[in-house]
């Protein structure tokens, strides 16, 4: 098994089973996440016999870097997993630090009509190690420290809930990467039972909801998940989440030309979100050659923004990154798979 799948507690249990002191787990974590060794032999404060055991029981295999594209303030990585599947991670340089967009699955089953990741269907969930290594390897590649992680790459994180939560525990742990919970964001298309589970985790992790439409008719056309979990129920659970956690929720809204960007849509969105402690992130759509959707014009986006603003909805327009780097979700992988 890859050692990056292990929580501190997993390693403590491992050492306890071997009649060893459990603080050895902390030492191993320190080698992995603070000193960033790439082999067990480098763990010089661990005795030889235990190094041998670790080598027998674990591996430290990294992801294979297939391709790296870069543009102003953005680096896009394509990694190959041991079973030859590929995933993407995108690093963005903001004025507040480096933010990494991490993938949580190979492909995706949610089938949103505008999204490139869903075109290739779900192959499998990512292991904890495969998410942790996206962070570690991008940091090593650029010799930087990542301050923010957003789980908004390929996949639906709440469809791989347990691994995603364990991944978050590791990157959040002071003994590992120490990325603050408030600097970690999980984005979901709206799987209600998992949002309920998530609201009980007692961490200050940010929640983002991919909304993309202000009514059921339009949302069901764009996002299959809306046929299962209706908008009214989604909004109800978000209100419950906010009551319980006292945290503000982000709604993501992709601006699709002539689909969801009208004045009427903006007003309907105002009605839907009035009084909810949230902010709306308007996302200029990244066009992809495989899908027919077009991005709204700058002018339309600004008009939409103004309507929300005038009606006292907190709103931002997402900065556009990497127009020259196959920036749409899943695009690099799709292009690679199709040669
Ligand atoms: N499945 C999760 C997280 C991955 S998608 C979710 O749905 O939230 C991350 C965000 O990117 C979602 O809001 C998704 O709708 C959006 N997205 C997908 N394709 C896009 C594109 N071509 N341009 C801009 N945003 C896109």
Ligand 1, closest atom to CA 212?
15
Residue-range domain boundaries for the chain: 3-57, 64-338
How far is the C-alpha of 49 from the C-alpha of 109, rounded, in Å?
A: 45
CATH number of the 3-57 domain: 1.10.150.530
* Distance, CA of 13 to CA of 19 (rounded, Å): 10
Q: What is the pLDDT of residues 56-114, one digit of tens each?
A: 999 999 999 999 999 888 999 999 999 999 999 999 999 999 999 999 999 999 999 99
State the pLDDT at residue 339. 41
Q: Which residues of 44-55 are buried (b: 16+ CB within 10 A; e: fewer)?
A: eebeeebbebbe
Q: Are 295 and 256 in contact (CB under 8 A)?
A: yes
Q: How many residues does this entry show for the chain?
A: 339
Mutate to test the pocket of ligand 1, among 283, 319, 326, 332 (most ligand atoms within 8 A of CB): 283
| Mean pLDDT (whole number) for 215-221 | 98
The tens digit of pLDDT for each residue in 161-211 reads: 999 999 999 999 999 999 999 999 999 999 999 999 999 988 999 999 999
Q: Is 329 a catalytic residue?
A: yes
Angstrom distance (rounded) from CA 247 to CA 150 = 17
Closest residue to atom 24 of ligand 1, CA basis: 285
What percentage of the chain reaches a pLDDT higher than 90?
88
Residue 336 has pLDDT above 70, yes or no: no
**Are 3-57 and 64-338 in the same CATH fold?**
no
Strand (E) positions, 153-244? 184-188, 206-210
| Catalytic-residue membership of 115 | no
Taking the centre of ligand 1 as the mean of its atom positions, its distance from the CA of residue 205, in whole angstroms, is: 19
Q: Which of 6, 265, 278, 329 is catalytic?
A: 329
338: pLDDT strictly greater than 60: no
Q: Report the C-alpha gap between 321 and 205 in whole angstroms.
A: 24
Q: Could you tell me the CATH superfamily of domain 64-338?
A: Aldolase class I (3.20.20.70)
């Amino acid at each position: 098994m890859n050692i990056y799948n292990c929580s501190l507690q997993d390693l403590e249990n491992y050492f306890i089973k071997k009649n060893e002191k459990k603080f050895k787990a902390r030492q191993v974590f320190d080698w992995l996440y603070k000193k960033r060794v790439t082999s067990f032999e480098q763990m010089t404060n661990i005795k030889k016999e235990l190094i041998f055991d670790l080598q027998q029981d674990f591996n430290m295999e990294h992801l294979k870097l297939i391709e790296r594209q870069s543009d102003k303030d953005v680096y896009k990585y394509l990694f190959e997993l041991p079973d030859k599947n590929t995933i993407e991670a995108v690093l963005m340089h903001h004025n507040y630090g480096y933010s990494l967009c991490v993938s949580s699955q190979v492909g995706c089953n949610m089938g949103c009509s505008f999204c490139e990741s869903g075109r290739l269907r779900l192959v499998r969930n990512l292991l904890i190690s495969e998410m942790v290594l996206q962070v570690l390897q991008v940091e090593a590649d650029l010799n930087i420290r990542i301050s923010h992680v957003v789980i908004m790459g390929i996949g639906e994180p709440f469809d791989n809930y347990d691994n995603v939560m364990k991944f978050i525990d590791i990157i959040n742990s002071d003994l590992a990467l120490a990325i603050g919970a408030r600097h970690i964001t999980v984005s979901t298309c709206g799987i209600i039972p998992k949002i309920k589970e998530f609201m009980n985790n007692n961490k200050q992790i940010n929640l983002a909801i991919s909304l993309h439409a202000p009514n059921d008719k339009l949302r069901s056309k764009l996002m299959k998940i809306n046929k299962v979990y209706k908008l009214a129920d989604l909004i109800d659970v978000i209100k419950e989440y906010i009551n319980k956690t006292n945290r503000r929720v982000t709604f993501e809204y992709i601006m699709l030309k002539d689909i969801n960007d009208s004045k009427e849509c903006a007003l309907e969105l105002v009605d839907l979100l009035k009084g909810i402690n949230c902010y709306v992130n308007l996302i200029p759509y990244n066009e992809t050659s495989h899908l027919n959707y077009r991005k709204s014009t700058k002018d339309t986006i600004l008009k939409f923004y103004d309507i929300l603003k005038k009606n006292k909805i907190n709103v931002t327009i997402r900065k556009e990154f990497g127009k020259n780097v196959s920036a749409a979700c899943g695009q690099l992988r799709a292009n690679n798979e199709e040669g």
